[in-house]
Structure 1
Amino acid sequence: MYRSERYVFDGSRNIPVVIRNYTEQDFEDMIRIQRECFPPPFPQELLWNEEQLKNHVTLFPEGALCAEVDGRLAGSVTGLRVNFDPSHPDHTWEEITDDGYIRNHNPQGNTLYIVDISVSPAYRKLGLGKLLMQAMYHTIVELKLKQLLGGGRMPGYHEKAEEMSVEEYVLQVTAGELHDPVISFLLSCGRMPLHIVSNYLDDEESKNYGVLMEWKNPFR
């Protein structure tokens, strides 16, 4: 099981943070964080439910991590193992994550696929998203997996969709000529764009596109 203790810095304050596996005792806080991250009009029925969370901690507890700040749950990341074939990269979020229930988790899968990463807005300036992603990289190395993979939203694309193709948008974000809240964050975590997927997620801001972003295990 995973546990890492460290400090983050908010101005002159040193704040203790623990990255650890989440458990059933954390479910109420996990759902609270989702509500804070995705308030209405986001459909509230799409937030985590207890059945999904129970599957996460039962089927693949190594891929169920959370960030605790000064004793309060502030963020989480969830994954499952899949066998990814780069010659057939297209899929939807619902297909590859079993709509978040991860009943398709493959204990022999070569890839850790990110289902979700969420950080409560009040804590986002502390860099918890990067700490959670780094913890997943540690998990990949420990399990000797080939890579981490996941589809990134492009919430900034709708503002540029009339000016450029999605391919050009991703190129400009990758080059640092444009900033996208999600893709730029994933790039800063060491993730690299692999493939653009159409109809990845029902997401008006991203025009339903997702960018598969990978991190390769450097020891493989």
Structure 2
Amino acid sequence: MEIDWYQLPIPDWGLACPTCSYPLRGLPRHRCPECGTELDMAALIRPWTRLRDPRFTGHERPLPDFGLLCRACGRPLAGAPGDACPHCGAAFDVEEWRPTREWFVLDAALAGPLPIPGVQALIASELVPHFPVGELSLAEIYGGRSSTINALRVPSEFHFEIRWLLQQALADLRAARAARGQGDWRCSACAEQNPGHFEVCWNCERPRATEQ
């Protein structure tokens, strides 16, 4: 996704003049009218800058693939035409999955087998505002020092878009593994079908290594 950072007038990106803190929204040129500072937009825009609205709100129908599972039958809710599970008919409310705070943590529990640095690159390419959580402070991270990033903080309004992006990335990962002969596998103990990235049968916990 691309956005022209130098478009005029300056959109409502929550930016301020780095010299005098004058708000930049609506300015017809890249020059602060208060102090005269020439504005380098590329330098002002940070990974956490909100450049656009979220792609999804959670109320879209049919329900996009957000990776949500029916609490009654455990099957995917993707494709539901309304607020009922397309498999068992149980009612669901997407608000049950919506974060209650302004920002939520995107960590390994949500990303699954996708590495957090890779997820960061993905959401950065989609211009989703975020900042990393690692061993160093933000000032140190963006000052050029390296850090082990183990989670990301993302505005909660982008929660469902993040879920959708993760599902797309997981589908790509499964396709790549299938192409390498690492596709879905069936457990010989319970005959359950498992995704290629599962190393243990989700149903009976038999290790995949025993299937080889």
TM-score by length of 1: 0.25
TM-score by length of 2: 0.26
Question: Greater share of helix residues, 1 or 2?
Answer: 1
- The structure, 1 or 2, with the larger RCO (C-alpha pairs under 8 Å, 6+ apart) is 1
Question: Greater share of strand residues, 1 or 2?
Answer: 1
Flag the structure with larger Rg: 2
